[in-house]
Structure 1
Amino acid sequence: MPETPLGAFLRARRRLAPVQAGTAGTRRRTPGLRREEVAVRAGISADYYARLEQGRQRVPTGPVLDGLAEALMLAAPERAYLHRLAHRQRPPAPDAPEPAAVPAATLALLGTLTEVPAFVTGPRFDLLACNPRADALLATPMARPVHERNLLWQVFCCPYAAAAPDNLAPDGWIGADLVAGLRAHHADRPADRPLAALVGQLERWSPAFAALWAQHRAGPPRRGRLSVPAPAEDPGTFEYTVLSLPEADQHLFMLVGPDRS
């Protein structure tokens, strides 16, 4: 039976360290929780859990999903992602529309942010607009070929960004945050072919992206750290925050820094 998105997610998150879940043992051949341990913690049978992982159990109930979320110690965004995966029985949404133009009001807002780098991204983290400070910091991304006008490409694939390995760290840095955001968007649009093509390209081009994608973490981009290497205009480590805009799937990133400590 072919792998299902729900089964892939459960298998990935079962790799939670047993010591974190209170089931540490002295002799374990593989890291993570066993199926039986997840089932006990979730209050379901081991056979039922195995059917979920193998895609043989179609629609688990809400209480079962909540039990699995507790068993796997999922954060709130990942709980929501789990529920979306499990109830994807409706017809899949079509391809996401091509990014809408950035409204004049948003461009005006970018123009007022003269003290910090700021930029707007679309649903696949395509770069749609930058203020002058962000344009200088990211080495004029809007003048590059289309496939390079993407924040994920900038972080994971750009040779210039390869000098900033901190961005690819698992927690607290922009790479993991972007991958979780892309995964959450993917859950709502499993049939989005341009999105699937982007994921496939990034998996081929960047082992770091492939490793983070395989973790199945999901959630909207929020805040974290971005390391910008020399010879940028203002290299260093920036703190960033992300605001959702009224336009569908557009986000405003604002950077503060660099941290000279």
Structure 2
Amino acid sequence: MAASGNTLGDYLRARRGQVKPEDVGLAAGGRRRVQGLRREELATLAGISADYYLRLEQGRDKNPSAQILDALARALRLDAKAAEYLHQLARPSSGHREHADIEVAADDSAELIEQFAMPAIVAGRCLDVLAANPLARALSPGFAPGQNFLRWRLLDPAARELYIDWDEMTDIAVSGLREVAASDPEDPRLGSLIAELSATSGRFRELWGRADVGYRSSLIHLRHPIVGELYLRSHRLSITHSGGQHLLIYRVEPGSASAAALEALARGEGRAHSHQ
């Protein structure tokens, strides 16, 4: 979903720039005009000709074999999610997809999260909050239904106050967005969000240029204005046949100070929400 229209080449270029020569057994001596690997170095590591690699990166060859993609993934030291993303870019899904202007929570997911004794939201394919239970809404203004939690996390100064580990939390969210973008590169709402954040957030431009792929579970460190500091573990569960929606669930360690803080937030839910 890059502006150039050459998503495969853009991704190869970005990942090539992140590999240190010494990490793949190459000498790092001398002045290098490029960050990371040169094109010909990557081609050699992948066992393909430099000319063919150049055509791939420039978008002049759009049909690399699965074997070549696997070789490039190994040479670039991609993990499983990043390698899968590389294959998705080279083999975009065929056929027209309908893209609803207004997304609603799938099936009974909104009712389901109301039963959870932990913060939970239903997030859409563009990371819009489609539904949130009361505890999630009390936990963060970024979880208010109708909010886009990635936009809020990147652009609202309150997010920096709430997330003690803001750098990691923005990294995870942008990596998750790139994973979604690979599954439907023609989605106009997704393209609009990426263009907007590229224009308004330096942090987004930095992370998008890094080309990391895939959501990962993480330990989140918050400084809540009412109950103080607490740690939560995030989990993402895909909702089948939903067009890319998922549940985000946040749990605390039983018996911990964070659990006590979350219980206090639940007891004073109305007051917590009104102060955010």
Is the structural similarity TM-score above 0.5? yes
Whether the aligned pair in 1 keeps the contact of 2:160 and 2:166 (CA below 8 Å) is no
Whether the aligned pair in 1 keeps the contact of 2:235 and 2:249 (CA below 8 Å) is yes
RMSD: 2.4
Task: Tell me which residue corresponds to 1:14.
Answer: 16
Q: Between Structure 1 and Structure 2, which shows a larger proportion of helix residues?
A: 2
Q: For 1:54-65, what aligned pairs fall within 5 Å after superposition?
A: 54-65=58-69
Task: Tell me which residue corresponds to 1:129.
Answer: 131
- Secondary structure at 2:9 match in 1: helix
Whether the aligned pair in 1 keeps the contact of 2:164 and 2:222 (CA below 8 Å) is no
Q: Is there any run of 5+ residues in structure 2 with no aligned partner, and where?
A: 259-276
Q: 1:91 to 1:183 in 2, by over 3 A?
A: same
- Tell me whether 1:142 sits opposite 2:140 in the alignment: no
Q: 1:96 to 1:136 in 2, by over 3 A?
A: same
CA offsets 1:172-192 (integer angstroms, 9 cap, x no match)? x33222212211222222221
What TM-score, normalized to structure 1?
Answer: 0.85
Task: Tell me which residue corresponds to 2:270.
Answer: none
- Tell me whether 1:223 sits opposite 2:221 in the alignment: no
Task: Tell me which residue corresponds to 1:26.
Answer: 29
TM-superposed deviation, 1:59: 0.6
Aligned partner letter, 1:166: D
Q: Is there any run of 5+ residues in structure 1 with no aligned partner, and where?
A: none
Q: Which has the larger radius of gyration?
A: 2
Whether the aligned pair in 1 keeps the contact of 2:174 and 2:207 (CA below 8 Å) is yes
Q: 1:46 to 1:63 in 2, by over 3 A?
A: same
Whether the aligned pair in 1 keeps the contact of 2:105 and 2:131 (CA below 8 Å) is no
- CA–CA separation in structure 2 for the residues paired with 1:165 and 1:193: 33
- CA–CA separation in structure 2 for the residues paired with 1:166 and 1:159: 14
Q: Percent identity among equivalent residues? A: 36
- Secondary structure at 1:40 match in 2: helix
- Secondary structure at 2:21 match in 1: coil
- Tell me whether 1:120 sits opposite 2:122 in the alignment: yes
Task: Tell me which residue corresponds to 2:263.
Answer: none
Task: Tell me which residue corresponds to 1:240.
Answer: 234
Q: 1:94 to 1:11 in 2, by over 3 A?
A: farther
Task: Tell me which residue corresponds to 2:87.
Answer: 83
TM-superposed deviation, 1:55: 0.9
Whether the aligned pair in 1 keeps the contact of 2:125 and 2:244 (CA below 8 Å) is yes
Whether the aligned pair in 1 keeps the contact of 2:93 and 2:184 (CA below 8 Å) is no
Task: Tell me which residue corresponds to 1:153.
Answer: 151
Q: 1:34 to 1:3 in 2, by over 3 A?
A: farther
CA offsets 1:226-247 (integer angstroms, 9 cap, x no match)? 3433415454342211111223
Aligned partner letter, 1:111: E
Q: 1:180 to 1:139 in 2, by over 3 A?
A: closer
Whether the aligned pair in 2 keeps the contact of 1:239 and 1:257 (CA below 8 Å) is yes
